Amino acid sequence: MGIVALAGGIGAAKLLEGLYAELGEDLTIIVNVGDDDTFFGLKVSPDLDIITYTLGGIIDPARRWGLADETFKCIAALGTYYPETWFNLGDKDLATHIFRTDRLNQGKSLAEVSHEIAHKLGLSCTILPATNDIVQTKLYTSQGVLDFEEYFVKFRAGVPVTKIDYRGAADAVPTPGVLETIARAERVIICPSNPMLSIAPILAVPGIRAAVAARRDTTIAVTPIIQGDAVKGPTAHLFRELGYDVNPLGVVDYYGADLFAHFVVDARDEDLLLELSPDRFPLPVNFTMFDTLMVDFGKRLELAKYLLQYPI
């Protein structure tokens, strides 16, 4: 049966460290591909790599993306030939992108290549891109319509966003095994990832949202917003710009209460729950509280255990 987690990048990877320690091969991770892009002809899958590197114990511990002990000589040299080199690709990290691109060019699917990479790093859990097709998160801003990486890295998430869409999602097909795994899982966990940039592109692949909603009673989500702010990244200002409350209740509004019956609010936001009216959402949601700020491995493990033991 096992456990399924829907995941973006850095926020998700922290929780996944705990879940993987508890579950090993019983964990299946369905990963966002909306941030994937091509740089210098190489296919880059940032969320897949953050998760694989984190669980493989080779992530840079300070940045929480890319590899530990990294150098950036190749990207600097590429500046000789390319006018723009704002996307930081480390020298060792490039090996992953070269391998991925090579295998894709040989006709392998993204899921097959992701499996090969995870296997070579010695991981026993299953890591599945949400789809093998191309889904591109596009952000509408005063600087034009930006790809996720342009928005996040080039503009440092500093331009106001008026709309987001997930180009290609409507025609994408879930990776084989994704819908079945969600249907059979003991419980489904929605990681504390950016709802709009990391989880929505997964749910936008036809069939995935319906598969999770069908498991509503056994699906639990964790807030990525604590005390009116994101722990890191643009979640809070995207929520504000797109008209949602910047708190866990705004997160539930955004996802829709039809998606899950259980939601973990950070213990620091206890006041929100004390004031909550029972008919705040169209369907009843069981709110629970825990310390979700995963500052170290101990905290990641505690939250993972809590999610696995939470009575549903």
Instruction: Find the Cα–Cα–Cα–Cα dihedral 19, 21, 26, 30, rounded to 10°.
Output: 40
What DSSP element (H or E) covers 181? helix 178-184
Of 103 and 125, which CB lies nearer to ligand GDP in the complex structure? 125
Task: Decide: is 292 part of the binding site for ligand GDP (CB under 6 A).
Answer: yes
Of 45 and 141, which CB lies nearer to ligand GDP in the complex structure? 45
Q: Are 200 and 47 in contact (CB under 8 A)?
A: no
One character per residue 232-251, x = contact with ligand GDP (rule: CB under 6 A):
xx-x----------------
Q: Segment near ligand GDP (CB under 6 A), from 55-63, 74-82, 100-108, 224-232? A: 224-232
Q: Which two tokens stand for residue 165?
A: 């869409």
What DSSP element (H or E) covers 49? helix 46-55
Q: Segment near ligand GDP (CB under 6 A), from 70-78, 95-103, 222-230, 278-286? A: 222-230
State the Cα–Cα distance between residues 73 and 71, nearest whole angstrom: 6
For 115, other C-beta atoms within 10 Å of its C-beta total 17
Q: Which two tokens stand for residue 146?
A: 């930006």
Number of residues that bind ligand GDP (CB under 6 A): 25
Task: Decide: is 129 part of the binding site for ligand GDP (CB under 6 A).
Answer: no
Smallest distance from the beta carbon of 305 to ligand GDP, in angstroms? 15
Which residue in the set 85, 132, 194, 247 belongs to the binding site for ligand GDP (CB under 6 A)? 194
Kindly give, in sequence order, each residue whose CB lies less than 8 Å from that of residue 23, ignoring residues fewer than 6 positions away: 2, 3, 125, 308
Smallest distance from the beta carbon of 61 to ligand GDP, in angstroms? 14
Q: Are 14 and 39 in contact (CB under 8 A)?
A: no
Task: Decide: is 12 part of the binding site for ligand GDP (CB under 6 A).
Answer: yes
Task: Decide: is 114 part of the binding site for ligand GDP (CB under 6 A).
Answer: no
One character per residue 134-153, x = contact with ligand GDP (rule: CB under 6 A):
--------------------
Task: Decide: is 66 part of the binding site for ligand GDP (CB under 6 A).
Answer: no
Q: How far is CA 101 from the centre of its chain?
A: 22
